[in-house]
């Protein structure tokens, strides 16, 4: 019951954040919604017990690609342009048509797949059978043991490089020009001809 609630919650968050990536005007907010959609899809993968894919999804997409997008957006300092409503309506109708046709094809494939599966009663009532024994180690635990023992130097080096990239982009984008504040006393007390 809890896994169904979590699955529905992650699916709703994924749908809303994916829609927000397209709809939002601010590019920084759009990238943040992209990160949220990656995290919620990783949560769905965790519920499906694909731990390695979920954590690779977070490491690769959130940790590298989305941060790279955010760096590019911050470096370019893109301004919001006015939108032509007639063109946006034309593209919106075309995108709705493409989305509905894509959804129809996906649902057709899913229905064909689940009709040919004799072991499935319903899509949401699948039961997981644990074929591992009680003392078996999980895949993610084995990966963590290898990563933090044999490849700890490479792992720490990659973390330091990503940290330096974050610090470099922040220092490049911060505008350190000091604005001299003009006080009213200096302006009023100014003498003519000097």
pLDDT tens string 34-82: 899 999 999 999 888 888 888 888 888 888 888 788 777 777 766 666 6
Using CA atoms, how far residue 155 sits from 53, 66, 144, 152, 158, in Å, is 18, 20, 11, 5, 5
pLDDT tens profile 149-174 = 888 888 888 888 888 887 887 777 77
Task: Specify the pLDDT at position 78.
Answer: 65
Q: What is the pTM of this model?
A: 0.54
Of 91 and 129, more confident: 91
Tell me the C-alpha distance between 83 and 89, whole Å.
10
Name which of 1, 70, 61 is nearest 30 in CA terms.
70
Task: Specify the pLDDT at position 166.
Answer: 78
């Amino acid at each position: 019951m809890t896994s169904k609630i979590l699955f529905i919650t992650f699916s709703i968050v994924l749908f809303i954040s994916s829609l927000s990536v397209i709809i939002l005007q601010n590019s920084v907010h759009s990238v943040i919604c992209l990160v949220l959609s990656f995290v919620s899809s990783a949560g769905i993968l965790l519920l499906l017990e694909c731990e390695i894919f979920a954590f690779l999804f977070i490491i690769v997409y959130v940790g590298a690609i989305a941060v790279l997008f955010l760096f590019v957006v911050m470096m370019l300092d893109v301004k919001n342009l006015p939108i032509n409503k007639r063109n946006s309506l034309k593209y919106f109708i075309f995108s709705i048509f493409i989305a509905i046709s894509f959804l129809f094809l996906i649902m057709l494939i899913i229905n064909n797949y689940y009709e040919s599966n004799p072991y499935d009663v319903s899509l949401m009532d699948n039961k997981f059978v644990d074929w591992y024994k009680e003392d078996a180690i999980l895949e993610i635990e084995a990966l963590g043991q290898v990563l933090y023992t044999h490849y700890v130097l490479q792992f720490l080096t990659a973390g330091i490089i990503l940290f330096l990239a974050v610090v470099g982009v922040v220092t490049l984008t911060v505008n350190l020009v000091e604005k001299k504040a003009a006080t009213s006393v200096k302006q009023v007390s100014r003498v003519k001809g000097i």
